[in-house]
Each structure stands twice: as structure tokens, then as C-alpha cells.
Amino acid sequence: MHMVTDEFAMNSLNAAKQQLRSAMKQRLGAISKESVKAQSSVVFNKLREFKPYVEARRVSIFLSMSTGEIQTDGIVRHALESGKEVFVPYLHRNPLPSPDLPVRVMDMVRLRDIEDYESLQPDRWGIPSIDPATVHDRQRIFGGPDAHHSDKALLDLILVPGVAFDIAPETGAIRRLGHGKGFYDYFINRLKAKAKDLGVEGHIVNLYALGLSEQLLRSPAEGSIPMGPYDQRIDGLILGDGQVVIHPTD
């Protein structure tokens, strides 16, 4: 009976998330390219003076779709030019197949330099993507048996995308609705487990989202983001209108 209740709750949660994603898709589709470009510039200018970014040595940055989200091209270039180690998402089949685990998972792989970044080819969503043929030669956060130099690799800062965000009225927690694949939630869980295995359980990885101002649900009338047991809490949100929302310290 308990399992049936849990399954019903998860199905209800997923249905509520999917409904909100559909509504947000319409909202985001109406934003002009000029607005996205202007908001992306505001976020970039905020971020480059933002202490967690300034002090981060190893940064993971999402690479943007061409519409409907903050464009990160300027951030990637600035981070590389600033001498930071820059990691970007790479999706691949899960090497540990199991009915309880996702079929596809995300790793973060390091860009070598600006030329390397500029050589990435767009995937079917227009997102610049790592060539699978080059992955074995790159530093990765998890990697495989060939990635001996990734054993101790962790991250200082992860910049994440999202479909929508809101602020929990009771706690001030910033809630994120992703695209529904769970790539970031699963990656961050694995990263925490890796830090524990390395004996640096207290290692702080800052998790900040970048969003268009239209992606923040500002009142219950606009909807609220349902949270499940595996959804990761984010530390802050930088928006395209210049607003910076920080999760209250416990």
C-alpha cells in the first residue's frame, strides 16, 4: 500500500511539473531575441563581479539553447580568459545500467581554451556540444577507467539553467523546475558522493541558476514549483532584470 501511495504521489508531482513546463514554454516562446540578448548582457555583468564566480577556480557552465534562456557564450569566454578551468555538460549512456537509475547521465568535461570552445558543433537543439570522439582525451568530473586524472576533480561553482523558478513563501528557498530529465539533480548527488569518498565532505560547490526575468514566478497566481525528494536546492538565482536572489542561510 505504501508503494502504491508513493507511486501515486510521484505521478502527481510529475504531472504538475509537466503542466507548468507547458505553460512556461508558451511564455518563453514569446520573448524576443533582442530581450534575451539584453537580459543575457545584464546577467553577465552581474556575474563577473559576483563573489562566488570571481573566487571560483573550477566552474561548470551550461551551454545555451538559441532561444528561451540566458545566453552563456560571453560567460564561457570570460571564464576561459580569466584563467578558470571551465567544464561543460556532456550527456552519455549510464555505464551502470539499472532499472532504478537513468539511462542517460551527465558528466562535465573540461574545455581546453577559446579555440576548443569555438570548435564545438551545435546539436539538434542548437546547443554547442562536445564531440564524443574527444571525450576520452579530456578531463572529466566522473569519467571512466581511462580518466585517471579525473579521480580528484571537483567543482567550485555550477551555473545551471532552468525552465522556471520561484521562492518558497515559508522559507525563502529558491526552487527550480528543470527540463524533466533530472540530469543536474543526479549529477549533483553523484558529486556530493564523490566529495564524501575523497574525504572532503565539507567541500562547498556553489549552485547558482541564471534566468530570464520571465522565468521567475512572482506570485501564486502564476503558479508554484512542485518539489520532489531528489530535487536539488539552489544557492541563488541571477535574473535578466538584474535581480540577484540568494538562498537564506540556515
> Residue 3: its pLDDT value, please?
46
> Residue 1: its pLDDT value, please?
45
> Residue 215: its pLDDT value, please?
96
Q: Strands 157-160 and 58-61, how do they pair?
A: parallel
Describe the chain by its helix, strand, coil percentages, rounded to 5: 35, 20, 40
> Residue 4: its pLDDT value, please?
46
Task: Number of helices (H) and strands (E) in the chain: give both, helices first.
Answer: 6, 11
List the grid coordinates of 148: 585517471
> Residue 5: its pLDDT value, please?
56
In which element (H, E) is residue 105 found?
strand 104-110
CA-to-CA distance for 217 and 165, rounded, in angstroms? Answer: 6
Q: For the chain, report the end-to-end CA distance as a whole number of angstroms.
A: 36
Architecture category of domain 2-246 in CATH: 3-Layer(aba) Sandwich (3.40)
Phi/psi-derived region of residue 68, left when phi > 0, alpha when psi is between -120 and 50, beta in every other case:
left
> Residue 166: its pLDDT value, please?
94
> Residue 214: its pLDDT value, please?
96
Annotated binding site: 17-21, 63, 69, 176-184
Q: What angle do CA 183, 100, 18 make, to 5 degrees?
A: 50
Burial class (CB in 10 A: 0-12, 13-18, 19+), 168: middle
Per-residue pLDDT of the chain (250 residues; tens, 9 = 90+): 444 456 767 778 888 889 989 999 999 999 999 999 999 999 999 999 999 999 999 999 999 988 899 999 999 999 999 999 999 999 888 777 677 777 788 999 999 999 999 999 998 888 899 998 988 888 899 876 555 456 677 899 999 999 999 999 888 999 999 988 888 988 988 888 888 888 876 677 899 999 999 999 998 888 889 888 778 889 999 999 999 999 887 5
> Residue 151: its pLDDT value, please?
65
For the entire predicted model, the pTM comes to 0.90
CA-to-CA distance for 122 and 129, rounded, in angstroms? Answer: 6
Burial class (CB in 10 A: 0-12, 13-18, 19+), 169: exposed
Annotated binding site for substrate: 63, 69
Around Cβ 33, how many Cβ atoms within 10 Å? 10
Annotated binding site for ATP: 17-21, 176-184
Task: Report, in angstroms and rounded to the nearest whole number, the Rg of the chain calculated over CA atoms.
Answer: 18
The residues with which 60 forms a beta bridge, in sequence order, are: 87, 158
CA-to-CA distance for 123 and 107, rounded, in angstroms? Answer: 17
Are the C-beta atoms of residues 199 and 151 closer than 8 Å to each other? Answer: no
